[in-house]
Every structure is written in structure tokens, then in C-alpha cells.
Structure 1
Amino acid sequence: MGSRWTFDGHIAGIGTASGVRAVVGVWQDSPFGAFSDVMVQQPSGQRLLLAPRPDVAEFISATYSFDEVRVVDVRASLADGALAVDAGPLAIRAVTGTRTLLGTALRAVPRRLAVHPRWLSAVSPLAALAAPGARTYGTAGSGRAEFYGVTDLHHLTSAVVSWEGKDAGALAPIRPAVTFGFSSVPPRPSLARVRTTVVEA
């Protein structure tokens, strides 16, 4: 077994009526310190990474697949039920709602177990049934394996999203699923509490 990287924070999945889809990572603790990043997929299918620093961009682009990578000022905050993101051409103001039924079930699993790679490997097929398109384990780029340990999940109830200064439309399901890696986010816009573990074989 090679290197291991652990990221603790939140992932928000957002879809819009225009077809712009965004996956926002707000990481409170990581090997790169606290940071935020955004993966954006256009209606055309083009995949773009917005990362705050070259080292972060290098790691993420080696793990996931993108057509373009930009290093821009990425600022994201989570407070009082609101998510605010400013990342180069993208701006998001979203409101979180109630905990999902899946989120309630996830909270019943002890955290140490819920984020353990062996557990996540075992329950990955069930995760795909509970949240179509989502997986808890899979292979990533550069010979890496990745584990998503989700411990809570809330709906996003509304969002104002702009891309390059233009309104991207109302909050909408994330369809088609994003294709940055082996897993998408749940189809319904949501905010997940997550620990992501990346392992190099």
C-alpha cells in the first residue's frame, strides 16, 4: 500500500435548469490545509476544475478527469444553513433544507465505521441503489483508489447560480450525472458531510 490522503469536509451537488452542474468541495481538513474547489460540467459535457492553488489543482486533476483546469480564487462558506461560493466564473448562493431520509440512516452508523475503507468497499453496491449514480468506493486516476464516507446528507432547497455573469437558471436535478470520476453525486441537489480517502496502490 502506498500513500494515503484524507479530506474531511462537505460536498454539495448542484444542478441548474440550463444544464450547468457543479460539485463543490468545502474541505475543513486536508493534506493541503483548509480549501475549497469546484468541478463544473457544462451542458455540452465539458468538464472543468476550478482550484485555488497549483498544488491542489495538480492533485485533483491527477485523481479525476477534466477537459480544462483553471487556478482561480475559490472562496466558499457554510454558515446558518447557507452555502456561498465564488470561484472565478462561477457564483452560487444556496440554501440547505431538512436532513434526507438517507442522511438520517447514515447518522445511525458510528462515524469510525462509516468512514472506514473496508466498510465503504462493502456497502458501495448498496450506495448505488440508495442514491443512483453515487458510489462509496472505486478506482481513480494515477493508480489510486478512492473511498467516500458520507455521514450526513441535507437537501438543498434553493440556489442562485451564475456562470460567467449569466443566470444559470433555477435549481434542478443533476442530470445527466457528472462524469469526473467513478461516482456522481445524488440526482437531487444536496449537501453531504463526508470524509474522502484516496489511497495509492
Structure 2
Amino acid sequence: MTATRWTFSGRILGVGTTSGVRLVVGVWDTSPLGSFADVMVEQAGGHRILLAPSQEVADFVAGTYTFDETRIEPVEVELPGDARMEVVSSSLSLVAALGRRTAMGWLLRGIPRRVAANPLFSTATDPVARVILRGVRTRGTAGQGRREYYGATDVRAVTSVSGRLDGVDLGTLTAVDPPASFGFSSTPRRPSLTQVVTTIRQR
């Protein structure tokens, strides 16, 4: 890709588990790489794994974030009945039950999408997000001289989670704490599914 600006529109699921594993699932409806899903996993000991459906996706995501291991494997995501999210890959099976829209979600719904998706808006809201939502940034630096901007348009709570990673039970739902250390990211401490437009610029 030769563009210096890339836009990804979709959802980000961020959850913690009692096993100490924290997961960030990106489900991208539109992007320069087409429609795809990927998973960032941080194990209790800090080992960071990227699950990506293709080498092209892996190269782009790993150029933006930092991982200790990358696995190329199909990543399938379904939202049956809009009540839960199911994620399946060769390494991972995950089911997250979705709750109601949060108070922050209702607030974001009142902001026009074109405004929320504008990097200038993300820049303006970043200082506020840092204070009121621990673990959240709406702008920041990424790998390879890139800058990243998150424009959230809705948030739903996650009420429970179950799954297995490499055949090992993940345990039950808990906060995303400590924050994942992939680099710049925007996963709230409270487990949630966030509707988002992500803009990445090459400096």
C-alpha cells in the first residue's frame, strides 16, 4: 500500500479473564485490507500474540503494534442475534455475552459519525479520555512512524466471557487490568464492545 492514511471501520472487543489473559478482537467491516478480523492476545506473563488471517494483515498490524509471536490462521467472528460475539481460530475459541449500551455509549451516539471519525476530534478528546476512562487513548504514536486516532461511536458492556486458548480454559470475565502492552491501544478497563473508526497516518 502506498497511501499515507488508512481508515478502518468496525468494532473492537476488549476483555480480561481470570486466567490473566487479556484479548483485543478487531472486527473490521471496511478497511484498505478488506473485511477481516484479528486478535491481539497478552498472556498473564506478558507474552503478546497476534492472530491474523493473512500475511498481509499480519504485516500491517505488526507494523503498528508490538508482538512477541505472530500466528497466521483463519479468524472467524459471528454476532448471532446481536446478543453475543463468537470468535474462532485455530488457537482460540471465545464467546462474549453482550449487555446494554453504556452511559458512554449513549453519549457517543449523540455525536455525528463524521465528527467522531475526524482525527481532529480524537485529538481534542484524548486528554478527557485519559482521565475518565482508564486505559483509553483516542490518539497516539504507533510503529513505523505512524500516528493512530480512534473515533468511537458506540459502546456496549460485556457481561460474561468463556473460551480456550491453545486448549487451556481462559476462566471468567474480569477487568482488562493491567492494560495490554501492544503499544498504543484504546481498550477500556471495563470489558466492552466499541464501535469505532480508526485512522492511521504515516508521518
Stretches of structure 2 that go unaligned for 5 or more consecutive residues are: none
2:68 is aligned to 67
2:133 to 96, 106, 131: 131
1:33 is aligned to 34
2:8 is aligned to 7
CA deviation after TM superposition for structure 1 residue 183, in Å: 2.7
CA deviation after TM superposition for structure 1 residue 188, in Å: 1.1
Question: Contact conserved, 1:50 with 1:88, CA < 8 A, in 2?
Answer: no
1:47 is aligned to 48
1:97 is aligned to 99
Q: Tell me which amino acid in the other structure corresponds to 1:164.
A: D
CA deviation after TM superposition for structure 1 residue 94, in Å: 1.1
Question: Contact conserved, 1:177 with 1:184, CA < 8 A, in 2?
Answer: no
- Are 2:55 and 1:57 equivalent residues in the alignment? no
Question: Contact conserved, 1:38 with 1:49, CA < 8 A, in 2?
Answer: yes
Percent identity over the alignment? 47
Question: Contact conserved, 2:138 with 2:186, CA < 8 A, in 1?
Answer: no
1:69-107 CA distances to partner (integer Å, 9 max, x unpaired)? 111111112232210001221110111101111111111
Query: How far apart, in 2, do the equivalents of 1:163 and 1:183 lie?
Result: 22
Query: How far apart, in 1, do the equivalents of 2:177 and 2:90 lie?
Result: 24
Once the two structures are superposed, the pairs formed by residues 69-88 of structure 1 within 5 Å of their partners are 69-80=70-81, 81-88=83-90
1:8-57 CA distances to partner (integer Å, 9 max, x unpaired)? 00000011001011000011111111000000000001111000000000
Once the two structures are superposed, the pairs formed by residues 113-132 of structure 1 within 5 Å of their partners are 113-132=115-134
1:168-188 CA distances to partner (integer Å, 9 max, x unpaired)? 101111110001122341111
CA deviation after TM superposition for structure 1 residue 130, in Å: 2.2
Stretches of structure 1 that go unaligned for 5 or more consecutive residues are: none
2:188 to 186, 189, 198: 186
Partner of 2:106, secondary structure, is helix
CA deviation after TM superposition for structure 1 residue 161, in Å: 1.7
Question: Contact conserved, 1:26 with 1:36, CA < 8 A, in 2?
Answer: yes
Question: Contact conserved, 2:150 with 2:186, CA < 8 A, in 1?
Answer: no
TM-score, reference length from structure 2: 0.96
Query: How far apart, in 2, do the equivalents of 1:137 and 1:101 lie?
Result: 22
Count of residues in correspondence between the two structures: 200
2:157 is aligned to 155
Q: Tell me which amino acid in the other structure corresponds to 1:122.
A: A
TM-score, reference length from structure 1: 0.97
Partner of 1:142, secondary structure, is helix
1:144-184 CA distances to partner (integer Å, 9 max, x unpaired)? 00001100000011111211112110111111000112234
Partner of 1:134, secondary structure, is coil
